[in-house]
Amino acid sequence: MANLYLTHKCNRGCSFCFARKVLKESGENVDELLTIEEIKTLLSHFSGEFNQIGLLGGEPFLYPYLGEVLELLWQQNIIPKIFTSATDTMPKSIRYLNIRKHLLKFIVNVGTRDSYTDEKYKNLNNFFAKFHAVSSLSYTILALDANPEFLFDIIDHFKLLTRSIRIGVALPIYKGGNQYVDKKDYKDLGKFIIKFAQMAYKRNVMLEMDCGFTACMFTQIEFGILKRLGVRSSFVCDVAIDIGPGLKAWNCFPLFQLHKENVLESKSINELIRKFNTKMNNYFNHQVGIYEECVDCKYYKWYVCQGGCKSFKSFNN
Ligand code: SF4
Ligand code: SF4
């Protein structure tokens, strides 16, 4: 799946955010948008290659042409997956949408109640009242002493049909600058996830891991516990392909500043992915993973773990 990076704009201001920091440091123009013409060109260039497309930012609700993008995707039988905080006023194109007529999914990144103003919390409430049937939660782990119970409360309170949470870990952006969980604390992160998964299991919720986790943050016993608790574990560092204004693509947000490709210079998405793999491997001198042990690691050799998030490697360059 590729993601369309629609707009830089966002009002939420999360401390772990890649986008805000990268934007500031790279001098990108905050008003720059991915245009409808660019999206049409992209869809025709890679015609038939997408089943789903992620829509992200910034905040997709602040993108003025969201309705047009959704129509374009539906016309081509592509399912839009909107990554949002759902704390801004719903744009009209969303507010009046009939979810019986159109396939779409929302991935809502949520925080504790005290992370919202009253107005933002009201917007979140209004959003879930309408879209609880097609929304699931995502949560980015930053504080290892956080209590994730509030996530299950949100699922119950808003009667979300999908009882799963996509968990990510706050990762460093290339050359640092945002808040993230340091790789030296990954064993503690593993313990945190085990506790989180036990709580989730009791509340009938499944956890699903995003990229950047490592297999060695868990002991073998903890591995077994994860399986029993139904956690969808994965230890990958793949090319995510975010496509932004000017039809420039980047590997993923932490590596945004490292390299961009003009998507129209690749004949297929697979070719684009291959180009990124080659560039990133060359850039990091084919360094295997984020720890010295990765070179001899069985999990690496068995393709269980891809060696953690490449953005940690940038600190060694
Ligand atoms: S470098 Fe790899 S693990 Fe890190 S965010 Fe990008 S794809 Fe995910
Ligand atoms: S490949 Fe590296 S990060 Fe992954 S489990 Fe092995 S040592 Fe850990």
The DSSP line for 274-305 is HHHHHHHHHHTTT--SSSGGGGG-HHHHTTSB
Ligand 2 centroid from CA 217, angstroms: 8
- Cβ of residue 244 lying under 6 Å from some atom of ligand 2: no
- In a domain, residue 250? The reply is yes
Ligand 1 centroid from CA 5, angstroms: 16
Mean per-residue pLDDT for 139-164? 95
Q: What is the pLDDT of residues 202-221, one digit of tens each?
A: 999 999 999 999 999 999 99
- In a domain, residue 298? The reply is no
- In a domain, residue 304? The reply is no
Ligand 1 centroid from CA 232, angstroms: 18
SS3 of 252, please?
Answer: coil
Where are the alpha helices (H) located in the chain, listed in sequence order?
18-26, 36-45, 66-75, 92-95, 118-131, 149-157, 186-202, 220-228, 269-283, 298-301
- In a domain, residue 308? The reply is no
- In a domain, residue 96? The reply is yes
- For atom 2 of ligand 2, the residue with the nearest CA is 294
User: What is the token pair recorded at 170?
Assistant: 């706050």
Where are the alpha helices (H) located in 132-185, listed in sequence order?
149-157
- Cβ of residue 255 lying under 6 Å from some atom of ligand 1: yes
**Atom in ligand 1 nearest the alpha carbon of residue 237:** 2
- In a domain, residue 295? The reply is no
- In a domain, residue 296? The reply is no
- Cβ of residue 183 lying under 6 Å from some atom of ligand 1: no
Domain CATH number, residue 192: 3.20.20.70
Longest dimension (CA), the chain: 55
- Cβ of residue 97 lying under 6 Å from some atom of ligand 2: no
pTM: predicted TM-score of the whole model, two decimal places: 0.90
Instruction: Specify burial of residue 91 (Cβ count, 10 A radius: 0-12, 13-18, 19+).
Output: middle
- For atom 2 of ligand 1, the residue with the nearest CA is 237
Amino acid identity for residue 306 in this structure: Q
At residue 41, does pLDDT exceed 80?
Answer: yes
The DSSP line for 11-71 is SS--TT-HHHHHHHHHT--TT-B--HHHHHHHHHHTTT--SEEEEEES-GGG-TTHHHHHH
Ligand 2 centroid from CA 211, angstroms: 13
Structural domain of residue 96, as residue ranges? 2-285
For the ranges 51-55, 99-103, 115-119, 301-305, which has the lowest average pLDDT? 99-103
For the ranges 59-68, 76-85, 151-160, 168-177, which has the lowest average pLDDT? 168-177
Domain count along the chain = 1
Give how far the C-alpha of residue 71 lies from the chain's centroid of Cα atoms, to the nearest Å: 23
**Atom in ligand 1 nearest the alpha carbon of residue 210:** 8
Ligand 2 centroid from CA 218, angstroms: 10
For the ranges 17-26, 40-49, 131-140, 189-198, which has the lowest average pLDDT? 17-26
Q: What is the pLDDT of residues 227-283, one digit of tens each?
A: 999 999 999 998 889 999 999 999 998 888 889 999 999 999 999 999 999 998 888
Backbone dihedral angles phi then psi of residue 242, each to the nearest 5 degrees = -100, 135
- In a domain, residue 259? The reply is yes
Rounded to whole angstroms, the Cα distance separating 102 from 55 reads: 16
